[in-house]
A and B are shown apart, each in its own frame.
Chain A
Amino acid sequence: MSGMVEKRGLGTWLTHIGLLVGIAIICFPIYMAFVASTVTQPEIARPPMPLLPGAHFIENYTAALTQGINAPVWLMIVNSSVMAMGIAVGKIVISIISAYAIVYFRFPFRMMFFWLIFLTLMLPVEVRIVPTYEVVAGFGMLNSYTGLILPLIASATATFLFRQFFLTVPDELAEAARVDGAGPVRFFLDILLPMSRTNIAALFVILFIYGWNQYLWPLLITTKPEMNTIVMGIKQMFPSGDDIADWPVIMATTLMAMLPPVAVVVFMQRLFVKGLVESEK
């Protein structure tokens, strides 16, 4: 098509080269981290560090997973998985049922509840750090999965997304269900929920990444190393004084920290893009 209106050839090659250069620059930090995770600490401590991977891959990753520095990394991965799953599932469950209530029922204070949920968009955790910490500490939720998950599971975005979707569902379905004598719970479970499958999956991808990548909240809530999540635990692995950091183990941990969300984006790209675009509507 473009060939009709202008000569390309050279231009196309330049475009490909430009893209490859851009990609190389973007991938470079990851490559260096990978190299660092396969060499020994003395090799890094005597700069310049090697540019090609070394032979200590298994050794460094095993050391990170089984010992780590403050806590074994496998434990931090378990904590991150529980937190990410808890947040993703929790947000989806409480949002889909509140959207159902708001769209399919008429009751006093309906709009007030809607605005209450809407306003949480204006209250990100970064902004109310100290008082939220105090509330959670007051409930005795420090160093617990409940403390990591519960305060983050309200979701205006997910509620809007489901509300938007429910509004596009034909009224005839609810009418037919009513004629057949199905109550609201049956209608929700047998018809609405199966119809929402794709939306739920797309949202799950986005929310899993959101939960896994949390940093500030676990930093405040977990003071015990064995409750740390992997993303916030990396920073805790650096020595406080002038000692040289154990870079190979730290970089192995860093790569393991980014692997699950990156894998989700790469392998579920279509769902991911759908979730990303829709949650911004």
Chain B
Amino acid sequence: MQKRVVFNNRLLPYLLLAPQIVVTLLFFFWPAGQAIYQSAFIPDPFGLSSQFVGWGNFEFLLSDPYYLASFKTTVVFSTLVTVTSMGAALWLAVMADRVIKGSSAYKTLLVWPYAVAPAVAGVLWLFMFNPNVGLVAWYLSAAGYDWNHVLNDGEAMGLVVAASSWRQISYNFLFFLAGLQAIPKSVIEAAAIDGASFARRFWTIVFPLLSPTTFFLLVVNIVYAFFETFGVIHTITAGGPQQATTILVYKVFSDGFVGQDLGSSAAQSVILLVLVGLLTVVQFRYIERKVHY
């Protein structure tokens, strides 16, 4: 945690820490405190006074069908994003690990989508599937399928999942490939000499050895789907049709800024704070284990 050799200076360490601590207090802890405070009040429509309601906002939220539906939407959305992007990435990484020639070129061609902002990914996919002008939508309708994610819940969900997963594949690919390359080749060769097929080698040896990477990526992808996909949702569906793609983070935004329901938005923030806290704890407990692995 600390050096044996340290400098003695009374004021300097505080000066060095000051900028970070000031920013942290002003823009992180103060607003978080405000969220907790506001979650216990209902402001009147004119913002002149507010009424203390204790746990009222939470009780209301947890019995509000729209909020519960948003919870369900979030779970469905993040499960689909995690499974799709990790599955596709693992498939690509296994193949990239097999090729000897040109693997670094493949890596370059697969890594760049990570740099594409979620909002930009949203616009790219929106364009392909736009019911009026989108190329894929046009071919689908030529094939007899009438695509319209503006009206159809399932199609809207499919599109935001596709755009969110597309961008995340490269990240998962990098970590899976690194994990695969860290597995000693002698282990796999021994199994191959024993006559185990590629599929059998993969499921009995490679996949179990990859489990630390898989678990780590599982947490990262869930965090990504929960908190970083706002741009995708906002550009493609704006939470619609009705509320079919309103994930929790989107609901905090739309209730707080569009609906101006500050008490409820604050209570939702507090619930999300608890969720992030839990995910962070899981992440760190895991990382401790990774060190020993």
| A binding-site residues for B, Cβ under 8 Å | 1-2, 4-6, 11-12, 15-16, 18-19, 22-23, 26-27, 29-30, 32-33, 36, 44-45, 47-49, 51, 93-95, 97-98, 100-107, 110, 113, 116-117, 119-124, 126-136, 150-151, 153-155, 159, 166-167, 171, 174-175, 178, 183-185, 187, 209, 212-216, 219-220, 231-232, 234-235, 244, 247, 250-251, 254, 257-258, 261-262, 264-266, 269, 272-273, 276-277, 280-281
B108 touches A215 (CB 8 A): no
Segment of B50-58, B72-80, B203-211, B270-278 in the binding face: B270-278
A130→B13 contact, CB < 8 A: no
- Known contacts being A120-B28, A127-B227, is A22 close to B88, with CB within 8 Å? yes
Distance in Å: Cβ of B42 to nearest Cβ of chain A: 14
Nearest neighbor of B27 in chain A, beta-carbon distance: A151
Residues of A within 8 A of B125 (CB): 29
Q: A103-B2, A127-B272, A250-B123 in contact; A117/B24 too (CB < 8 A)?
A: yes
B92 at the interface (CB under 8 A from A): yes
- In the complex, the chain B residue whose C-beta lies closest to that of A14 is B95
B231 and A216 contacting across the interface, CB-CB below 8 Å: yes
Known contacts A29-B166, A127-B252: A47-B117 contact under CB 8 Å: no
Given A127-B227, A231-B119, A220:B12 Cβ within 8 A: no
Q: Are B23 and A105 in contact (CB under 8 A)?
A: no
- Across the A-B interface, the 9 shortest Cβ-Cβ residue pairs: A213-B117, A131-B31, A131-B34, A261-B115, A101-B16, A105-B13, A215-B231, A151-B27, A101-B13
The 11 listed contacts between A and B (C-beta, < 8 Å) are A15-B95, A19-B92, A101-B13, A124-B276, A130-B257, A130-B265, A131-B269, A150-B27, A187-B7, A213-B116, A234-B119
- With A48-B135, A130-B266, A174-B5 given, name 4 new contacts (CB 8 A): A19-B99, A130-B257, A171-B4, A265-B112
**B9 near A: Cβ within 8 Å?**
yes
Majority DSSP secondary structure for residues of B touching A: helix
Contacts of A215 in B (CB 8 A): 117-119, 230-231, 234
How far does the alpha carbon of A134 sit from the alpha carbon of B35 in the complex, in Å? 11
Are B133 and A212 neighbours in the complex by a CB distance under 8 Å?
Answer: no
Report the interface size class on chain B: 35 or more
Contacts of B143 in A (CB 8 A): none
A48 interface neighbour in B5, B138, B234, B276, Cβ under 8 Å: B138
- The smallest C-beta distance from B217 to any residue of chain A, in angstroms, reads 10
Return chain B residues, CB-CB under 8 Å to A5.
189, 192-193
Q: Give the nearest-CB partner of A97 in chain B.
A: B16
Q: Is B61 an interface residue (CB 8 A)?
A: no
Contact of A22 among B92, B120, B249 (CB under 8 A): B92
- Does B3 contact A276, Cβ atoms closer than 8 Å? no
Tell me if B32 is interfacial: C-beta within 8 Å of chain A. yes
Residue of A27, A135, A185, A231 near B31 (CB, 8 A) is A135
